[in-house]
């Protein structure tokens, strides 16, 4: 064996993986070390040895990379949220730009790199949404926080530097309600107990906050006390909702929501339009970044007055509606009924009359539209992380649009789908990474594909 567990070796970090871990070479063997930066020279303590690689942790930094900054979060090394709090934002952007280009060239067979990465000014406090697990500590204390890396252990933390600052008071109020009332806490291993997650959303422009308690039950005991605690917490709460999730699952939200106070939704503004968002509807988590992303998508779509846009995976209709003024007609497709309801209301409250929304699976809806003779000039695709199914890509190509704008939160599936599109006659003309998730390993990307 070249290396053994508990060995201490000197290592120079040459690159970062797309999961934010540093890589160095030890006699031809790759060694992965979390929390390091390109250029670091470290003593690594080896914690795992496999046939082709090893994993270490930092025992000592011998020479610090020039990318390093002082980490400003106490729980960063345990929490699974951030991966880049120890390097400058410029270094993070450089890594993300490179990672997106690498994957598009390697998996997507695109032979040019991404345009310069777009990003928000300050990579802090951007998140308008939090899903905070609630657990009991070994000592029996109520713990709220975030899951540690690759596990469901809750790292206690009542605030997070990525989240909007208003959430801290809201979380304290919920914690107080739990502590002072006969309310149990959900235990994943026994599937018993009531409170699973505190799910929060806030409209950046309107300031409206929705508080949703995810529960393994049908009601919250002494719910008037919960309402009192929240409405008295000093933040602008506009909606209090219970989400019922009685399933033995990792999925945070159940299908049913009961509003116990205020509105069933919050409102926010993006790109000068108003949006109504229900708890189960998708809404981008970085609103300032969203305007940058949608701006780039709008530029790539380059719609003309007489053109039709098909917005597949449209959520609450946001992308399509922000382009509607420039188009003859927009058609949105989305599988979650509450999101489609929001999309229709969103068209109405913005006085948009050239939009139509269909609640269906993207694949089925695309085929139906194709059979109806719909031939959009531009198709926007914005699927979840797993990307599009092959038959969605095929039907889109059959519709023969001039341009396809593909928005993706996972450049690996984007690259895979671009390769399939190449066989269907569409080539990537340009693509841009947009850092929607500063300090984490995730990065958004938008690509323009045109008919070859």
Residues of the shown chain interacting with ligand SAH in the complex, contacts defined by CB under 6 A: 282-284, 313-315, 318-319, 333-336, 339, 361-362, 382-384
Shortest Å, Cβ 389 to ligand SAH: 7
Q: Assign residue 69 a region: left if phi > 0, alpha if psi is -120 to 50, beta otherwise?
A: beta
Do the beta carbons of residue 259 and residue 193 sit within 8 Å?
A: no
Shortest Å, Cβ 254 to ligand SAH: 15
Longest dimension (CA), the chain: 69
Q: Which pair of tokens denotes residue 157?
A: 């933390």
What is the C-alpha to C-alpha distance for residues 286 and 127, in angstroms, rounded to an integer? 5
How far, in Å, are 172, 275, 279, 385 from residue 262 at the CA level?
Answer: 20, 17, 13, 33
Shortest Å, Cβ 377 to ligand SAH: 19
Helix (H) or strand (E) holding 166: none
What is residue 84's three-state secondary structure?
Answer: coil
Q: Which pair of tokens denotes residue 414?
A: 């984007």
Residue nearest ligand SAH, CB atom distance? 315
Nearer to ligand SAH, 334 or 410 (CB): 334
Shortest Å, Cβ 292 to ligand SAH: 13
What sections of 219-351 are H helices per DSSP?
Answer: 223-231, 287-301, 318-321, 337-349
Shortest Å, Cβ 439 to ligand SAH: 21
Q: Which pair of tokens denotes residue 335?
A: 């599988």
**Dihedral (Cα; 166, 268, 366, 414), 10-degree rounding:** -50
What is the C-alpha to C-alpha distance for residues 245 and 258, in angstroms, rounded to an integer? 12
Q: Which of 409, 418, 443, 445 is catalytic?
A: 409
Nearer to ligand SAH, 40 or 382 (CB): 382
Output DSSP code: residue 381: E
Nearer to ligand SAH, 86 or 403 (CB): 403
What is the phi/psi pair of residue 376, to 5°? -65, 150
Nearer to ligand SAH, 318 or 432 (CB): 318
What is the phi/psi pair of residue 189, to 5°? -75, -30
Shortest Å, Cβ 371 to ligand SAH: 17
29-33 and 115-119 beta bridge pairing: unpaired
Q: Which pair of tokens denotes residue 253?
A: 């939200």
329-334 and 308-312 beta bridge pairing: parallel
Task: List, edge to edge, every strand of the sheet that includes 209-215.
Answer: 154-156, 142-147, 129-136, 195-202, 209-215, 237-244, 256-262
Do the beta carbons of residue 347 and residue 357 sit within 8 Å?
A: yes
Shortest Å, Cβ 66 to ligand SAH: 36
Nearer to ligand SAH, 244 or 335 (CB): 335
Nearer to ligand SAH, 37 or 404 (CB): 404
Is 409 noted as a catalytic residue in this protein?
Answer: yes
Nearer to ligand SAH, 20 or 387 (CB): 387
Q: Active-site positions? A: 409
């Amino acid at each position: 064996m070249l290396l053994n567990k508990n060995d201490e070796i000197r290592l120079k970090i040459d690159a970062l993986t797309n999961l934010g871990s540093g890589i160095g070479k030890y006699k031809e063997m790759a060694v992965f070390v979390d929390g390091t930066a390109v250029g670091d020279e470290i003593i690594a303590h080896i914690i795992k040895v496999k046939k082709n690689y090893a994993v270490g942790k930092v025992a000592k930094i011998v020479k610090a990379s020039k990318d390093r900054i002082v980490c400003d979060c106490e729980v960063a090394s345990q929490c699974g949220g951030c991966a880049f709090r120890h390097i400058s934002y410029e270094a993070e952007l450089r890594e993300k730009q490179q990672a997106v280009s690498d994957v598009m060239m390697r998996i997507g067979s695109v032979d040019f790199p991404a345009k310069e990465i777009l990003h928000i000014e300050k990579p802090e406090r951007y998140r308008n949404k939090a899903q905070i697990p609630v657990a009991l500590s070994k000592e029996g204390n109520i713990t709220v926080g975030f899951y540690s890396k690759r596990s469901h252990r809750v790292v206690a933390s009542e605030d997070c530097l990525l989240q909007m600052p208003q959430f801290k008071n809201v979380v304290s109020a919920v914690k107080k309600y739990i502590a002072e009332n006969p309310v149990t806490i959900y235990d994943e291993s026994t599937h018993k107990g009531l409170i699973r997650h505190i799910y929060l959303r806030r409209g950046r422009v309107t300031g409206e906050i929705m508080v949703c308690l995810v529960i393994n039950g049908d009601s919250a005991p002494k719910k008037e006390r919960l309402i009192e605690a929240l409405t008295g917490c000093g933040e602008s709460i506009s909606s209090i909702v219970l989400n019922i999730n009685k399933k033995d699952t990792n999925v945070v939200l159940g299908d049913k929501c009961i509003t116990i106070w205020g509105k069933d939704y919050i409102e926010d503004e993006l790109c000068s339009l108003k949006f109504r968002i229900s708890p189960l509807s998708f809404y981008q988590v970085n609103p300032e970044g969203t305007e940058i992303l949608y701006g780039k998508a709008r530029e790539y779509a380059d719609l003309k007055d007489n053109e039709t846009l098909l917005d597949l995976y449209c959520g609450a209709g946001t992308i399509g509606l922000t382009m509607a003024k420039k188009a003859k007609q927009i058609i949105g497709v989305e599988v979650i009924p509450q999101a489609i309801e929001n999309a229709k209301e969103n068209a109405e409250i913005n006085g948009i009359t050239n939009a139509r929304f269909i609640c269906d699976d993207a694949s089925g809806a695309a085929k139906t539209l194709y059979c109806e003779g719909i031939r959009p000039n531009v198709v926007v695709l914005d699927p979840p992380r797993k990307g599009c199914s092959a038959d969605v890509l095929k039907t889109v190509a059959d519709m023969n649009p001039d341009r396809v704008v593909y928005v993706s939160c996972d450049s690996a599936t984007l690259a895979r789908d671009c390769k399939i599109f190449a066989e269907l006659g569409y080539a990537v003309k340009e693509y841009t990474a947009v850092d929607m998730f500063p300090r984490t390993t995730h990065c958004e990307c938008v690509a323009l594909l045109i008919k070859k």
